[in-house]
Amino acid sequence: MKKKLGLVMALLLAMTCFLAGCGGKQAEKTVANSAAQGNEQAASMTVKMLNVGQGDAVLVQTREQTVLIDTSDLDEQEKLRAELKKAGVKRIDKLILTHPHADHIGGVEGVVLKDYEVGEVYDNGMPSKSKIYTRYMKLLKQKNIKRHGLVAGEELDFGDGVKFKVFAPAKEIVDKGSKTTEGHDPNNESVVGKLIFGEFTMMFTGDAEKTEEEPIVKAYGGELQSKILKAGHHGSKTSSSADFLRAVAPEAALISCGAGNDYGHPHTQTMKKFHSMKLKIYETDKNGTITVTTDGKTYDIVPETGGAQ
């Protein structure tokens, strides 16, 4: 009888261990699935070229950070405010100002630094006599916000594996230009950089013209290749030189410009170049806000209205 009871107890113990082992494996599988789902959620980025009239404002959102590149024009502040609200922006971790022209820094004082907590500010390191720039610098000091002048070779971390590699302005240009407000060519001192997320890349150009594009091509060549090009200077004929376009070799071009603008942007010459390369072309004046989503491998471009040209 005792032998039979011992045998039964042994069998029960073995079954308990077996079931516990199975339960442990199931738990491990569940944890693994949760981790995979978390990684899948992290592997995404959204880039929005905001519809803010004749100016530039591009919003980059990762799971960890919200980055705003330029802030449109002084007379387009309400458009910028509406677009940021629509995008659900609560805080701006990094603000990048490509150069101190009004159509790129116009919304700094009245919208960005007024409505949002801003973590850090990056610009091209160049001083300016403009009142907008003077007030911007004063506000940074009042709010104790760190400012850094970007130079070629630097790299910013946007979180979730997203990087921004800077190609311009060159250090020697910044070293010389940062000492005086005289003799500046703001367009050709623009911050130019490449957004990198896995296999996805996007070139940001500010208002860089051929004058700035040429030394960039010479210095970086094949490193410039990008899936998407933020067209320089709102599609002006002074930008998007043939050599620069060959080096970037984009699949699509995004142009920020105002409807019926006085400058004729985008210029016919530039559009011909884009069409000859068979690029998908989007313009904020025709397409509204243009949204790019990517998982680091593939990407989608979704215009608010219409389609690619």
| pLDDT 10s digits, 117-138 | 999 999 999 999 999 999 999 9
Question: Contact at 8 Å (CB) between 227 and 200?
Answer: yes
Q: Which helix (H) or strand (E) holds 58?
A: strand 58-61
The token duo for 309 is 């040209």
44-303 placed in CATH 3.60.15.10: yes
| pLDDT value of position 43 | 61
| pLDDT 10s digits, 206-241 | 999 999 999 999 999 999 999 999 999 999 999 999
Query: Does 29 score more than 50 pLDDT?
Result: no
Question: Contact at 8 Å (CB) between 231 and 204?
Answer: no
Q: Give the domain ranges of the chain.
A: 1-42, 44-303
| pLDDT value of position 22 | 41
